[in-house]
Amino acid sequence: MKTAVYPGSFDPVTFGHLDIIDRALKIFDHVIVAVARNSEKNSLFSVQERVELLSKILEDRPRAKVETFDGLLVDFVRKRGASVTIRGLRAVSDFEFEFQMAQMNRSITKEVETLFMMTSVPYSYLSSSVVKEVSSLNGPVDNLVPPLVKAALDAKFRGK
């Protein structure tokens, strides 16, 4: 059984994240979507809200499981008996941060490999931050996030 961990802030989950999860499920038996607890600062959604959104959206994908983690990502990956962590790569701008993180994780342990997946073209410009900004200005996000997330954004920004 091959398990991969897909970590992130997911504040909130977008179609870009779901694309990576679906593609990862074609390679791995199980994918643990791991919401970082230390990403609570300056976030729009609490960790609990993010987990609830992800869990509902991934309900029909039984091989995907949502969890939270504290501390070092590589420690969480090892505790789950996994050896691969997945990260999506968009444009060149992602590379520096991702390179640093992958090298740092590798310097902590050689037991965990980082696997990068290129984001599908329609989502190459998409980020949770852009979604939050557009939604906060009452712009359209229907093509960027699932309806459940759109409703949660409306509730946050417009109390709907």
Tell me which residues are annotated as active site.
17, 41, 90, 128
- CA 82 from chain center: how many Å? 17
* Shortest distance, position 55 Cβ to ligand PNS, whole Å: 17
Which uninterrupted H or E stretch holds 134?
Answer: helix 128-136
Distance separating alpha carbons of residues 139 and 110, to the nearest angstrom: 44
* Shortest distance, position 64 Cβ to ligand PNS, whole Å: 17
- Report which of 67, 104, 100, 73 is spatially closest to residue 86, judged by C-alpha positions: 73
* Shortest distance, position 104 Cβ to ligand PNS, whole Å: 4
Q: Closer to ligand PNS by CB, 87 or 150: give it.
A: 87
Q: Residue 1 in 3-state DSSP?
A: coil
Binding site for ligand PNS (CB under 6 A): 7-9, 36, 39, 72-73, 101, 104-105
Q: Closer to ligand PNS by CB, 13 or 25: give it.
A: 13
Q: Closer to ligand PNS by CB, 25 or 34: give it.
A: 34
Distance separating alpha carbons of residues 124 and 138, to the nearest angstrom: 22
